[in-house]
């Protein structure tokens, strides 16, 4: 039996809260209500079910009358929560860089921090900070940080930065700190599906636009050939990177969709793992829409909404629009 599909874009926040009775902020509740029809895009595919899993998602299905045996166990959800944390991505990229050893790869400065005193590994003073669980720019900010003797400590932070990072520490146990790549020219991702038998299918590339703090802009709905051309990276190198991800995702106790976000800088360097999304994402939606409607399509995916959110593809750009009269 396939579970009814739901668009629960608050799932990353529900993972952070880690409770069964989770209520997202009112604006996110409105988004989920306004965009409920978006779930029809993956309803009759292998992705049928929720946008993402958490204790709150399981509780929601239970309240819908879905039998317990059709839902994931609490132990599985606890492991998914661990995998979904950006802390896991920090360990993942460390292993990737040690194994691939390619000068085109960035990410050595991405680290997990559980206190406000840590060594700097760079002379760069502009950093991006991320809470362990968040999405589309929430829990992410960029800041200039002073340094002294290559040491980062509370005396080097502005008070506003200290307060935000203390919030991450107290509520989620830490945060990710990485170099901010001001010379970024492209956001892209590799999309996968992990099967029950551990076989990992590569679904394709996605190319998207995000703001400085990671807030979602849009995805290109184009053919794989067009997307690879946009990415503009040596195909053999992309294949090596994709093969690494397939091999290592197969070792993880997880079944379902996975998206690995990356970026490209102006000099052609690649950050191969900004974060790992163990759930559906807009990149996979873009792949499904391209397969169904073709590249460059225009289609209204949810009802027109003059006073709220709507999802649409306009001339090959998948986006979420917010309108208010």
Do 146 and 43 lie in one domain? The reply is no
Q: Pick the more confident residue, 296 or 136.
A: 296
The Cα-based distances of 101 to 132, 218, 275 in angstroms read 27, 32, 19
Q: What is the CATH number of the domain that holds 187?
A: 3.30.470.20
pLDDT at 131 over 60: yes
Among the candidates 179, 197, 218, a domain finishes at: 179
pLDDT at 152 over 60: no
Give the Cα separation of 313 and 185 in Å (integer). Answer: 23
Q: What is the mean pLDDT of residues 43-61?
A: 97
- Domain total for the chain? 3
The answer to whether residues 163 and 169 touch, using CB atoms and an 8 Å cutoff, is: no
Query: Does the residue 229 lie in any domain?
Result: yes
Do 207 and 156 lie in one domain? The reply is no
Range of the domain at 133: 107-179
The answer to whether residues 291 and 203 touch, using CB atoms and an 8 Å cutoff, is: no
Query: Does the residue 96 lie in any domain?
Result: no
And the tokens for 104? 């085109």
Share of residues in the chain with pLDDT > 70 (%)? 92
Query: Does the residue 273 lie in any domain?
Result: yes
Q: Pick the more confident residue, 299 or 2.
A: 299
Q: What is the mean pLDDT of residues 147-167?
A: 68
Do 187 and 154 lie in one domain? The reply is no
Do 196 and 146 lie in one domain? The reply is no
Per-residue confidence (pLDDT) for residue 59, from 0 to 100: 98
pLDDT digits (tens, 9 = 90+) for 298-307: 999 999 999 9
Query: At which residue do the structure tokens 């873009």 appear?
Result: 286
pLDDT digits (tens, 9 = 90+) for 170-229: 888 999 999 999 999 999 999 999 999 999 999 999 999 988 777 899 999 999 999 999
Query: Does the residue 3 lie in any domain?
Result: no
Query: Does the residue 289 lie in any domain?
Result: yes
Q: What is the mean pLDDT of residues 103-113?
A: 95
Beta strands in 158-249 (DSSP E): 175-179, 184-194, 200-210, 216-220
Among the candidates 84, 118, 141, a domain finishes at: 84
Do 64 and 114 lie in one domain? The reply is no
Do 175 and 201 lie in one domain? The reply is no
Give the Cα separation of 172 and 133 in Å (integer). Answer: 8
pLDDT at 117 over 60: yes
Per-residue confidence (pLDDT) for residue 145, from 0 to 100: 72
Do 41 and 137 lie in one domain? The reply is no
Q: Give the side-chain half-sphere CA count within 13 A for 154.
A: 8
Per-residue confidence (pLDDT) for residue 171, from 0 to 100: 86
CA 142 to centroid of chain Cα atoms? 17
Per-residue confidence (pLDDT) for residue 148, from 0 to 100: 59
Do 270 and 224 lie in one domain? The reply is yes
Per-residue confidence (pLDDT) for residue 149, from 0 to 100: 58
pLDDT at 151 over 70: no
The answer to whether residues 268 and 233 touch, using CB atoms and an 8 Å cutoff, is: yes
pLDDT at 271 over 80: yes
Among the candidates 158, 179, 200, a domain finishes at: 179
Mean pLDDT rounded to a whole number for the chain: 92
Per-residue confidence (pLDDT) for residue 138, from 0 to 100: 77
Share of residues in the chain with pLDDT > 90 (%)? 80
pTM score over 0.75: yes
Per-residue confidence (pLDDT) for residue 157, from 0 to 100: 62
pLDDT at 122 over 60: no
Query: Does the residue 250 lie in any domain?
Result: yes
Do 143 and 29 lie in one domain? The reply is no
Do 207 and 163 lie in one domain? The reply is no
Per-residue confidence (pLDDT) for residue 137, from 0 to 100: 66
Which of 13-17, 117-121, 317-321 shows the lowest per-residue confidence on average (mean pLDDT)? 117-121
Query: Does the residue 94 lie in any domain?
Result: no
pLDDT at 93 over 80: yes
Q: What is the mean pLDDT of residues 287-302?
A: 97
Do 15 and 28 lie in one domain? The reply is yes
Per-residue confidence (pLDDT) for residue 170, from 0 to 100: 87
Per-residue confidence (pLDDT) for residue 211, from 0 to 100: 82
Query: Does the residue 97 lie in any domain?
Result: no
Nearest alpha carbon to residue 83 among 271, 282, 251, 272: 251
Do 240 and 303 lie in one domain? The reply is yes
Residues in the chain: 325
Query: At which residue do the structure tokens 């990992």 appear?
Result: 200
């Amino acid at each position: 039996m396939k579970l009814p599909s739901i668009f629960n874009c608050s799932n990353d926040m529900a993972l952070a809260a880690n409770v069964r009775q989770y209520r997202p902020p009112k604006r996110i509740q409105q988004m989920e209500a306004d965009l409920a029809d978006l779930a029809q895009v993956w309803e009759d595919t292998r992705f049928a079910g929720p946008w993402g899993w958490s204790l709150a998602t399981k509780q929601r299905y239970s309240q819908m009358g879905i039998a317990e045996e059709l839902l994931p166990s609490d132990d599985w959800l606890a492991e998914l929560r661990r995998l979904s944390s950006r802390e896991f991505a920090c360990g993942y990229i460390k292993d990737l860089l040690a194994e691939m050893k390619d000068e085109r790869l960035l990410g050595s400065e991405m680290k997990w921090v559980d206190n406000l005193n840590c060594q700097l590994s760079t002379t760069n003073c502009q950093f991006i900070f991320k809470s362990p669980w968040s999405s589309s720019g929430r829990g992410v900010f960029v800041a200039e940080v002073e340094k002294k003797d290559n040491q980062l400590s509370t005396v080097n932070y502005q008070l506003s930065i200290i307060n935000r990072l203390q919030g991450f520490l107290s509520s989620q146990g830490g945060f990710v700190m990485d170099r901010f790549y001001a010379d970024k020219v492209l956001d892209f991702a590799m999309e996968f599906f992990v099967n029950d038998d551990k076989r990992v299918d590569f679904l394709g590339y996605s190319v998207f636009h995000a703001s400085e703090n990671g807030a979602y802009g849009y995805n290109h709905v184009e053919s794989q050939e067009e997307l690879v051309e946009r990415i503009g990276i040596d195909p053999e190198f992309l294949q090596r990177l994709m093969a690494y991800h397939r091999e290592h995702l197969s070792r993880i106790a997880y079944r379902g969709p996975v998206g690995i976000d990356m970026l490209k800088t102006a000099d052609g360097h690649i950050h191969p793992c900004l974060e790992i999304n163990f759930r559906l994402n807009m990149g996979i939606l873009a792949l499904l829409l391209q397969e169904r409607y073709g590249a460059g399509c225009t289609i209204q995916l949810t009802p027109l909404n003059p006073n709220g959110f709507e999802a649409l593809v306009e001339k090959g750009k998948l986006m979420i629009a917010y309108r208010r009269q």
